Structure 1
């Protein structure tokens, strides 16, 4: 065999003898290249393929790092990757040990459903779960990892969207402080070096914020629907959460805490920069929660917190830079894209021949990418705004199905989030 960088590199070389035949090389008769496969070929004319890191994503796929969502090609060596342990479903950030990228020409498998969109190589490891009923026992949920071209043979399976988070135990004051930061991150701004303000014109929310400030014993002044805070505490807030809206981020200490504190932050942030609407979903009333921000860092941080709180998310651009919007004091043109996040209680995406989900082979001719994680080998990715878990290029990963918990024991975390 003779190795080439890509199929096109082989076809444009002096060694090309048609199909995958090498000519002019006395030591090789067959050409191989990264991504060479037999998708779409008749079994009587299969090529000889040498797998070279088969588990890869399309070039437009992003991965969640500790520095936000990034295309695989833009991930830095120092970045950590948001991952989930496929046996315990516990989430954590882990380093990666290898970077994979190569040109690929051939068939890719496209998984598409509401809330999930993945375009992967046929041998890509997919993280999934399915219902399982051992003989004479109650039904259970079974998690597993299978190559994409094996998974699609199943008549029904679910791609998990959430996981379990065990952060540092929080104190009552820390939870109150997280509630304050929820308001500042959504409705606050920098007035000067040592002064910040938080605006809230809704009477109910104004009183809510007022109560939080009093419980924290923060010194403030009031005026025209605003709370003004000055001094060392304001300087500390500005270090944790910069003053300009497009620079906003969630303070790091909040992201390390338990689910209770994270929910405190999210609840107040949504009351400030979120919206609620009720619509019909499968014949039932469903409350849809949407959050907006002009900071891509804040958007990624919120997605992380949403997953840690036990929910799932979808992202999109609500309005592009330059869009004119009406405000209380007039019309203004936005200086940044307005980024939106939809919060969902969905814990998985069902693929079945009984619903509108689709799995199909598509032609592909572009670069493919992946990272080999130090452990877990399942990462959180985003494609076309859809966010989900999937495997990485960890060739040493153990393909194993594990029983996690019974259906009856699944907790509906979403119902515990009291917005009022």
Structure 2
């Protein structure tokens, strides 16, 4: 059934079309005539966005391949303005791509037919439409089971850490779809000492406003008169909002708390040959070994494990106490501690090497109560207990340390420091992470920490079942939304022998809405390749 204006208006008020014009607009307030847009009897005329328009150009010696499209075949064109309005020029016998001004969220039982407006059809301009996607800068990372990795390197089907908005629990979910496209314009930067996100204006942020409530018992006179202490509590109701809607605004917060349950796959005791360790002591030892340990096989199949310590008495006493608690028969020298154990040495030796150390994936999936011991051991080895800072020459190890700190319910940031060594006459990079064990609260966004950043390059996004995933940029992690609806990319063909104007902010295509029975598998569920895009041109994909 073809839907009428009443139905379109009702659904638009529920978010199907944004922004929405409830009537046909043919003239502006200054009496300037425009190509009509807005609600009609059995459809809706959407407008051409002024943000971007790109025209195909020929590169000698190349063939346009829809399976491997070359972005260099598209050339941006300027927005022109005169007394008739703002417009792009589409050359004769050429093809161009623009994008709709309106954002659409179409119900699963609705199919939209797109028809070019007769005003353009009668001058030889033919319009087609496809949806599209994406929205984060190319240096954004996500947390996979193997550790942090760039968003652009994530594979479809790979599990990344997501947030279940119903339970507020962190859980790994597979990437259903991956999006990327070339973006040329301003990205919005939201940053503080704790968070960092660089996104397109239409990126869906997982944000909340703080609501403060005062609670007190008693009735009758005011609590102040009766001397009753009132308790103030802050409440945060998180929801999706586009980045452009919160940019420059006050009282918005980003969520950075990771509520992780994990699973104990080790049990209460860990067996290593003749030894049987309490799991808490075993994890503390692994943490110590990550910073100051080595493991290797000597001649004669002598399996050696060492903990190095020279001058720090506190560290030496801590290591000695731990080894004695574990019942290990160790040897102590001026350089530290050593003992023999085949099973433990075989487990640790692949992890050895100062710049190559990392925490095994199995250990990073443990519950917060056990991750605490791993963190404690690491801080007592290569950490500073006063500042709660951990350092290593292994980037992966420090990233893993940040991961287990986040999963333990703490906040943790990571950075790197490059130093010149006069002794070795070399430049070395030290990676550091600082953990904050105080209560992790939502991070307040301040307008002074928001800015527009000129950007020309690829942007990326993924689709996950929960639609919220943990992102990291410049070593600072927070939750963010993914893309899963869309604007429309508009395709134009100028079949005439003359250049044509395409007016921005004016009607360009009519949409007609047809209702059918709900499908068993929706476009979103079957991972439609053109699901969700901001108001920028999206390239061909398969």
Superposition TM-score tier, normalisation by shorter sequence: 0.7 to 0.9
Work out the CA distance in 1 between the residues paired with 2:293 and 2:253: 40
CA contact (8 A) 2:287 2:375 kept: yes
Give how far 1:96 is off: 0.5
Q: 1:212 to 1:378 in 2, by over 3 A?
A: same
Normalised by the length of structure 2, the TM-score is: 0.59
Q: 1:22 to 1:338 in 2, by over 3 A?
A: same
Give the corresponding residue for 2:22: none
Work out the CA distance in 2 between the residues paired with 1:153 and 1:247: 42
Give how far 1:88 is off: 2.5
Query: Match of 2:351, SS?
Result: coil
Give the corresponding residue for 2:398: 299
CA contact (8 A) 1:20 1:32 kept: no
Q: Does residue 1:360 correspond to 2:451, yes or no?
A: yes
Q: Does residue 1:188 correspond to 2:293, yes or no?
A: yes
Q: State the Cα deviation string for residues 301-342 of structure 1 (Å, max 9, x = none).
A: 11110101111222221225xx317xxxxx446686321112
Give the paired residue count.
359
Give the corresponding residue for 2:88: 20
Kindly report which structure 2 residues correspond to 1:188-227, keeping only aligned pairs within 5 A, or say none.
188-192=293-297, 194-201=303-310, 202-227=312-337
Give how far 1:7 is off: 4.2
Give the corresponding residue for 2:384: 275
Work out the CA distance in 2 between the residues paired with 1:134 and 1:293: 44
Give the corresponding residue for 2:443: 349
Q: Does residue 1:369 correspond to 2:460, yes or no?
A: yes
Q: 1:53 to 1:69 in 2, by over 3 A?
A: farther
Match of 1:32 among 68, 78, 98: 98
Match of 1:111 among 190, 196, 210: 190
Work out the CA distance in 1 between the residues paired with 2:328 and 2:338: 10
Normalised by the length of structure 1, the TM-score is: 0.74
Query: Match of 1:343, SS?
Result: strand
Work out the CA distance in 1 between the residues paired with 2:343 and 2:76: 70
Kindly report which structure 2 residues correspond to 1:394-409, keeping only aligned pairs within 5 A, or say none.
394-395=484-485
Match of 1:387 among 438, 461, 477: 477
Q: 1:168 to 1:31 in 2, by over 3 A?
A: closer
Larger radius of gyration: 2
Give how far 1:53 is off: 4.4
Work out the CA distance in 2 between the residues paired with 1:84 and 1:64: 12
Q: Does residue 1:340 correspond to 2:432, yes or no?
A: yes
Work out the CA distance in 1 between the residues paired with 2:335 and 2:184: 59
Work out the CA distance in 1 between the residues paired with 2:101 and 2:306: 59
Match of 1:245 among 342, 354, 358: 354
Work out the CA distance in 2 between the residues paired with 1:314 and 1:182: 19
Give how far 1:100 is off: 0.8
Give how far 1:135 is off: 10
Query: Match of 1:181, SS?
Result: helix
Q: 1:16 to 1:197 in 2, by over 3 A?
A: closer
Which range moved further: 268-277 or 254-263? 268-277
RMSD of aligned residue pairs (Cα, Å):
3.5
Kindly report which structure 2 residues correspond to 1:231-242, keeping only aligned pairs within 5 A, or say none.
231-238=341-348, 242=351
Give how far 1:368 is off: 0.8
Q: State the Cα deviation string for residues 31-90 of structure 1 (Å, max 9, x = none).
A: 425xx769xxxxxxxxx9979545410122222222333222223446432222233231
Q: Greater share of helix residues, 1 or 2? A: 1
Q: 1:94 to 1:296 in 2, by over 3 A?
A: farther
Match of 1:58 among 126, 131, 137: 137
CA contact (8 A) 1:115 1:314 kept: yes
Give the corresponding residue for 2:119: none
CA contact (8 A) 2:134 2:462 kept: no
Give how far 1:136 is off: 7.9
Match of 1:131 among 195, 210, 213: 210
Work out the CA distance in 2 between the residues paired with 1:15 and 1:255: 46
Structure 1 runs not aligned, ≥5 long:
39-47, 278-287, 326-330, 398-420
Query: Match of 1:58, SS?
Result: coil
Give how far 1:115 is off: 1.9
Q: 1:23 to 1:15 in 2, by over 3 A?
A: farther
Q: Does residue 1:164 correspond to 2:256, yes or no?
A: no
Match of 1:86 among 152, 159, 165: 165
Match of 1:73 among 146, 152, 168: 152
